[in-house]
Amino acid sequence: MKKKIAVLASAAMLTLAATSSMAQFAKGEDAIKYRESAMALIGSHFGRMAPVAKKEVPYNAEQIKANVAVLSVLAQLPWAGFAPGSEGGESKDDVWLDPEGFKQAEDDFLAAMDKLTVAADSGDFDAFRVAFGNTGKSCKSCHDAYRKEK
């Protein structure tokens, strides 16, 4: 029993060590690649719902719910990639010059995502459509402020 506890404790410590070193990137360009990959996946899982919100494609509550569940995990990912010293990519320097503003934009987006999850879980199309639109606005307002124009 004691041995089992010791094994569990060291496994927990290993997990902690892995988690704290996971946030690190060896090079700035690794962080850029990471955040861009995460954003690209977010773009895919968000964008595929647009035809449903626009009523071009029938609403399938189960599909939307499953897709929003994936999106809400993806939504946690990009932020570690905006690491100190990883300026560049399509990010404006303001991400690093105005960390509070950027964090606020991130929090606004995550709050919109929480509402989108509630709406998707409810199975109500109109609730989904409104929450989808508001989430899209939170993407756009961060992009307007912190992403370079192409």
- Inter-residue contact 38 to 77 (CB < 8 Å): yes
Q: Does 105 bind ligand HEC (CB under 6 A)?
A: yes
Residues 40 and 74: beta-carbon distance below 8 Å: no
* Cα of 97 vs its chain's centroid, Å: 21
Report helix, strand or coil for 75: coil
Which residue type occupies 26? A
- Residue 135 contacts ligand HEC per CB under 6 A: yes
* 3-state SS string for 13-63: HHHHHHHHHHCCCCCHHHHHHHHHHHHHHHHHHHHCCHHHHCCCCCCCHHH
Does residue 34 bind ligand HEC (CB under 6 A)? no
**Cβ 75 to ligand HEC shortest distance, Å:** 7
Closest to 115 in 3D by CA, of 67, 72, 144: 72
68 binds ligand HEC (CB under 6 A): no
For ligand HEC, which residue of 25, 116, 132, 138 counts as binding (CB under 6 A)? Answer: 138
Task: Candidates 12-20, 58-66, 120-128, 131-139: pick the segment binding ligand HEC (CB under 6 A).
Answer: 131-139
Mention every residue, 6+ apart, whose C-beta is less than 8 A from residue 72: 113, 114, 116, 117
Q: Which stretch binds ligand HEC (CB under 6 A): 15-23, 60-68, 84-92, 124-132?
A: 84-92
Taking the complex as a whole, the smallest distance from the CB of residue 123 to ligand HEC amounts, in Å, to 21
Instruction: Pick the stretch among 1-9, 57-65, 100-108, 120-128 that binds ligand HEC (CB under 6 A).
Output: 100-108
Question: What are the residues binding ligand HEC (CB under 6 A)?
Answer: 32, 35-36, 39-40, 42-43, 46, 89-91, 95, 102, 105-106, 109, 135, 138-139, 142-143, 146-147
